Amino acid sequence: MFSVVLLLALLPQGAQSSTPQDALAQLNEVSQRYADAKSYHIEAVEERTSSNELTRHWDKTLLTAIVAADGRYRYEGRSGFGSAILVSDSTTDWDYHPYDHVYTQQAASHSDPQTGKALGTQEMQVYGAKLLVTRISHQADRLKSATYLPDETIVVNGTNMECYVVHYFVAPTEHNQLSSEWTLWIDKTHKLLRKSLSTQHEVLSLAGSHLPMLHETTVTYALVELEPQEPDRSFTFIAPADAKLVSEFPDSFDRNSPPVAADLTGKPAPELQLKSSDGKLTPLSSFRGKPVFIEFWATWCGPCVELMPELVKLHADTAEKGLAWLSIDSDKDASAVAAFLSREHSSWPNYHDEGDSFGRAFHRVGIPLGVVIDAEGKITFYKSGYGIADLRAAIAKLGPEFSSVAPAAANAGGANSK
């Protein structure tokens, strides 16, 4: 026994493992750092490969997300399918399509005006940039365990980085039938995610044939700064000489458009018996006398996830003014919902839609579904795939005490051709 201890003591310092004991705790710690960041600058390269023995498809996307604590932002996404840049200096919002040499300009809203809204073909490329931090923040929400692989040194932008390597599996869900395997490289010095690799195996059914496919996605985080001192120029847009200002893009389409649902606007809200995790029942009618906002959502719904930080901001602006908030999720895993809401610092009550009874009562077809009910119990706003500006406008109509949350004017000086 003495000889073993002596041998360990004589090992070079670098040969002794400095890996923490609990991989999932490590991953949760990293995720929480991103969730708590009020500002950040992240640049990432995403490479996706789909292949089998006789075919291979590869594509690459360049992503940039720069966000300031005061609401300014710059998102960029560029791939072989399109490119878009979204910029706000808190006074003006710009949306620029470099390949088409056109851009829009409007008065800045309280938040990213694209959030939850229909996106055109070009904006689809920037969608990943807008979700960079959110995806990392919620990386561990559904996990029950994770393991360490041997430490590795990787090269990022010419710099060697010693990394912990965390490995885990994600089981299939109702909304994603494919299991996935993940490997994450976490910078030991700064406890930041610097690289991820996910793999999925799928059997495609095409014209009666069954084709095995392997999907691999590698994301390298070339730059990661949390709470940086970002220069003002990051949040300004100077139109190139060949760019034309337009009122709207001609190729826009509603990426969130759900099947047509019944419009309950103007109708009395149906009664619900909301059951909390401790079994307590709260009738929806018990809120009568004050207006209510209800969010139907799920953690697996991309637009819902994108909306959540904006809803948290809006809740802070309206809760003290008398608007009651509650949300209803369609998840199967209650622990994943709780972890998600905790990281987003959501403080309103959330209820699980057991058996989809709440959704049926409100004729829910797609999510996110936002519902505003006035103090008399009448539905004044009912919309699937809504944008945060839509919701702000609806809440502002509830009374003068809510007028301050109305979205900014639609245009800043109109659109003039160059």
Q: What is the pLDDT of residues 99-153, one digit of tens each?
A: 889 999 998 875 555 554 545 667 778 888 999 999 999 988 888 999 999 999 9
- Mean pLDDT for the stretch of residues 339-360: 89
> Domain 21-245 falls in which CATH fold?
outer membrane lipoprotein receptor (LolB), chain A (2.50.20)
Q: What is the pLDDT of residues 357-392, one digit of tens each?
A: 898 899 888 889 999 999 999 999 999 888 898 999
Given a cut of 80, is residue 61 above it in pLDDT?
yes
At 269 the pLDDT is 93
- Residue of higher predicted confidence among 385 and 418: 385
At 114 the pLDDT is 54
Beta bridge partners of 223: 43
Q: 157-164, long-range: CB within 8 Å, 24+ apart, which pairs?
A: 157/222, 157/223, 161/185, 161/187, 161/188, 161/189, 161/194, 162/187, 162/188, 162/189, 163/187, 163/188, 163/194, 163/195, 164/19, 164/20, 164/23, 164/26, 164/188
Q: What is the pLDDT of residues 208-232, one digit of tens each?
A: 677 888 999 999 999 999 999 999 9
At 18 the pLDDT is 52
Query: Is the Cα dihedral 389, 392, 394, 396 positive or negative?
Result: negative
DSSP letter for each residue of 99-135? TTTEEEEEE--SS-TTTTS---TTTHHHHHHHTHHHH
At 203 the pLDDT is 77
Given a cut of 50, is residue 41 above it in pLDDT?
yes
CA distance 343 to 317: 19
**Chain length of the chain:** 418
Specify the DSSP element, H or E, that contains 7: helix 2-10
At 323 the pLDDT is 95
At 82 the pLDDT is 87
Specify the DSSP element, H or E, that contains 214: strand 209-226
> In terms of DSSP H, where are the helices of 319-367?
334-343, 357-361
Given a cut of 90, is residue 77 above it in pLDDT?
yes
Given a cut of 50, is residue 289 above it in pLDDT?
yes
How confident is residue 351, by pLDDT bands cut at 50, 70 and 90?
very high
Write down the mean pLDDT value for the chain. 85
Ordered by start, the domain boundaries in the chain are: 21-245, 273-405
Whether 91 and 108 have beta carbons less than 8 Å apart is answered as yes
> By percentage, how much of the chain surpasses pLDDT 70?
84
Query: Is the Cα dihedral 168, 169, 174, 175 positive or negative?
Result: positive
Reported pTM: 0.75
Measured in whole angstroms, the distance separating CA 278 from the mean position of its chain's CA atoms is 29
Residues 6 or more apart whose CB falls under 8 angstroms from that of 85 comprise: 74, 75, 76, 94, 95, 96, 98, 126, 237
Other C-beta atoms closer than 10 Å to the C-beta of 63 total: 25
Given a cut of 70, is residue 206 above it in pLDDT?
no
At 177 the pLDDT is 64
Hey, do 21-245 and 273-405 end up sharing a CATH topology, with the first three levels equal? no
Q: What is the pLDDT of residues 295-331, one digit of tens each?
A: 999 998 888 988 999 999 999 999 999 999 999 998 8
Phi, psi of 342 (to 5 degrees): -65, -45
- Cα 132 to Cα 109, 185, 314, 348, 389: the distances in Å are 22, 16, 22, 25, 22
Among 6-10, 33-37, 40-44, 375-379, name the one with the lowest average pLDDT. Answer: 6-10
- Residue of higher predicted confidence among 84 and 366: 84
Q: What is the pLDDT of residues 186-205, one digit of tens each?
A: 999 999 999 999 999 887 76
At 354 the pLDDT is 81
At 120 the pLDDT is 63
Phi, psi of 212 (to 5 degrees): -75, 140
> Domain 273-405 falls in which CATH fold?
Glutaredoxin (3.40.30)
Given a cut of 80, is residue 62 above it in pLDDT?
yes
Q: What is the pLDDT of residues 247-267, one digit of tens each?
A: 888 644 444 444 445 688 999
DSSP letter for each residue of 76-107? EEEETTEEEEEEE-SSEEEEEETTTTEEEEEE
Given a cut of 90, is residue 80 above it in pLDDT?
no
At 357 the pLDDT is 87
